[in-house]
């Protein structure tokens, strides 16, 4: 298979060449946008990692926004970590991929799916548009799972505490109470081992209100196939 290695600087130039969605972009256009970035950055190169953080950073210089399960296990083994422990180690490298030209505030999110794949998410801001048109890292992450057919988000490590909107966004997933989250920002860094543990989503969203409060439990939620009941009409009508 074709082997391609991109440096971080080349990657950023590639992303800059991608046309940003306009103000009326929808979830589908966001998915297409992420797919375009994925095509620009995808590589079939085998990941080779070392134990040090420096080598983890070097691996992230060839990002694909998805790390296959076998590669994640290899990275963890070579780094002397478990796959779960690997997630927070990838947050800072993921932040380098964020595109926040307005706020200059880089956010990175790293998630673990049910099949062992690791997914990345970053925040995106669009020059000339209001800040509320931004894509948050947690939204990018969930959309990345959807693009790649992963129906379950089990763990998420993020560089900063999610905003209220993103906390609710995660709450909209199936079995949101099972999602475990770790915030790696400096205010959470201490010698206390408790600060290094993943905690349930409810720890940052107490008394949640979500789909189960309104919908039948069989109703498809985010990341699940939907039958919208739509059909194409004949052009002769």
Q: Comparing C-alpha atoms, which of 133, 137, 98, 132 is closest to residue 119?
A: 137
Question: What secondary structure does DSSP assign to 19-30, as a single string?
Answer: PPP-TT--HHHH
State how far the Cα of 226 lies from the Cα of 122, in Å rounded to an integer. 26
| Residue 138 among the catalytic residues | yes
**Contact of 121 with 109, CB cutoff 8 Å:** yes
Which residue is catalytic, options 71, 125, 138, 150? Answer: 138
Which residue in this structure is represented by tokens 């189960």? 212
SS3 132: helix
Q: Comparing C-alpha atoms, which of 33, 111, 11, 21 is closest to residue 66?
A: 111
Catalytic residues: 138
């Amino acid at each position: 298979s074709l082997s391609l290695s991109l440096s971080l600087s080349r990657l950023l130039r590639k992303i800059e060449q991608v046309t940003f969605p306009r103000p009326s972009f929808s979830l589908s256009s966001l998915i297409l946008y992420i797919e375009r970035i994925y095509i620009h950055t995808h590589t079939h190169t085998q990941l080779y990692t070392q134990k040090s953080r420096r080598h983890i950073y070097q691996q992230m210089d060839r990002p694909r926004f998805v790390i296959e399960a076998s590669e994640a296990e290899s990275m963890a083994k070579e780094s002397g970590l478990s796959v779960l422990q690997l997630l927070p180690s990838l947050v800072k490298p993921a932040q380098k991929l964020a595109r926040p030209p307005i706020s200059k505030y880089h956010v990175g999110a790293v998630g673990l799916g049910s099949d062992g794949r690791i997914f990345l998410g970053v925040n995106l801001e669009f020059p000339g548009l209001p800040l509320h048109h931004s894509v948050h890292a947690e939204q990018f992450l969930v959309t990345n799972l959807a693009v790649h057919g992963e129906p379950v988000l089990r763990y998420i490590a993020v560089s900063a505490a999610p905003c209220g909107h993103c906390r609710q966004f995660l709450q909209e997933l199936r079995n949101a109470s099972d999602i475990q989250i770790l915030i790696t920002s400096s205010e959470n860094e201490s010698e206390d081992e408790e600060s290094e543990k993943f905690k349930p989503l409810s720890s940052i969203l107490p008394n949640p209100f979500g789909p189960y409060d309104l919908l039948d439990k069989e109703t498809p939620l985010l990341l699940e196939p939907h039958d919208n009941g739509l059909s194409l009409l004949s052009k002769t009508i």
